[in-house]
Amino acid sequence: MDIQQYISSGIIEACVLGNASAEDMLELASLAAQYPEIKKEWDECQATIEEFATLHAVPPPAFLKEKIWAAINDEDKSNDIAAPRERESVPFQRENHSKSQRFYKYLVAASILLLAGSVTFNFLLLDKNKENEKKFAALDEAQQKEIALNQEFQSKIESYQKSMELLSKPFVKTVPLAGVGTHTQFNALVIWDTQSKEVYLSLKDLPEPPKGKQYQLWGMVDGKPVDAGVYSIGNKSMQKMKQMDNVSLFAVTLEDEGGVPTPNMDQMYVAGKI
């Protein structure tokens, strides 16, 4: 980088006089940061034009300072582009008013503007709030559905895991229940841990029970049907039933919701011998 060449090209003067492009200005700033000679040259140029401006100073009208300060404050509050305010056609007649009065007027104007703005904003917010409430309600519903689905999946996974566990244990009997009577197309499965006496039922392809009805599992013990529990989970996964011992046969009947003490034999869907 030829510093002398840069300086004598007049680009610094161009920047200071306002003829240069934005790129030139950026380049100058960057070079000045790197090279003290360029910074010095730039400083001197600026000082020259500043001195020149100082010498050409014209005192502005007295009222302008406060007017500008008020405009700046408005600017800070409302972030608007300050448009030129009242056109003062005869500026000097106003000198009779006390300064505080004029300042007060601007304060009041600013407060009214603020208030109007605030009220409008409140109405907008109210509207927005109603909208948001609706959105929240919809989101909430959707979320509930998601949670329910998730729970379904979780229990399915759990039941599969349980099945796997059980099947790998010794003394665990897998009892397929085949369709009976008019229900020959259906199947269910019982897994019976003869050691812990735990019984698990999986309804496999049995149809959804009608409203008010539930499937009930029975275990035949000493020739008598013993209630092994009502199948209550809805998604066909494996459910742990009541503990049973000495069972010779398992059967599933369709009963009233909540189950019954003795099975309705012609409502038997599936059954399987041990």
Least CB distance to other proteins at residue 14 (A): 6
Interactions with other proteins, residue window 65-104 (CB under 8 A)? 65, 67-69, 71-72, 75-76, 81-82, 84-85, 87-89, 91
Q: What SS3 state is found at 60?
A: coil
Judged by CB under 8 A, the residue of 34, 37, 40, 51 near other proteins is 51
Least CB distance to other proteins at residue 115 (A): 22
47 is an interface residue for other proteins by CB under 8 A: yes
Nearest to 45 by CA among 20, 70, 67: 20
Judged by CB under 8 A, the residue of 36, 37, 61, 150 near other proteins is 61
Cα distance between residue 104 and residue 61, in whole Å? 20
Instruction: Pick between residue 31 and residue 270 the one whose CB is nearest to other proteins.
Output: 31
Q: What SS3 state is found at 274?
A: coil
Stretch in the footprint of other proteins (CB under 8 A) among 60-68, 93-101, 168-176, 237-245: 60-68
Interactions with other proteins, residue window 165-224 (CB under 8 A)? none
- Do the bridges between strand 172-179 and strand 268-273 make them parallel or antiparallel, or are there none, so unpaired? antiparallel
107 is an interface residue for other proteins by CB under 8 A: no
255: Cβ contacts below 8 Å, ≥ 6 apart: 213, 214, 215, 216, 230, 263, 264, 267
What is the per-residue DSSP string for 188-218? EEEEEETTT--EEEE-TTPPPPPTTEEEEEE
Cα distance between residue 233 and residue 214, in whole Å? 10
Least CB distance to other proteins at residue 48 (A): 4
Least CB distance to other proteins at residue 102 (A): 15
34 is an interface residue for other proteins by CB under 8 A: no
Say what the alpha-carbon torsion angle 145, 148, 150, 154 is, to the nearest 10 degrees.
Answer: -170
Stretch in the footprint of other proteins (CB under 8 A) among 46-54, 128-136, 138-146, 194-202: 46-54
Segment (H or E) for 264: none
* Burial state string for 44-65 with b = 16 or more CB within 10 A and e = fewer than 16: ebeeeeeeeeeeeeeeeeebee
Nearest to 211 by CA among 234, 188, 183: 234
Least CB distance to other proteins at residue 8 (A): 7
53 is an interface residue for other proteins by CB under 8 A: yes
Least CB distance to other proteins at residue 101 (A): 19
58 is an interface residue for other proteins by CB under 8 A: yes
Judged by CB under 8 A, the residue of 31, 38, 45, 241 near other proteins is 45
Q: Which residues of this chain interact with other proteins, rule CB under 8 A? A: 8-14, 16-19, 29, 32-33, 42-61, 64-65, 67-69, 71-72, 75-76, 81-82, 84-85, 87-89, 91
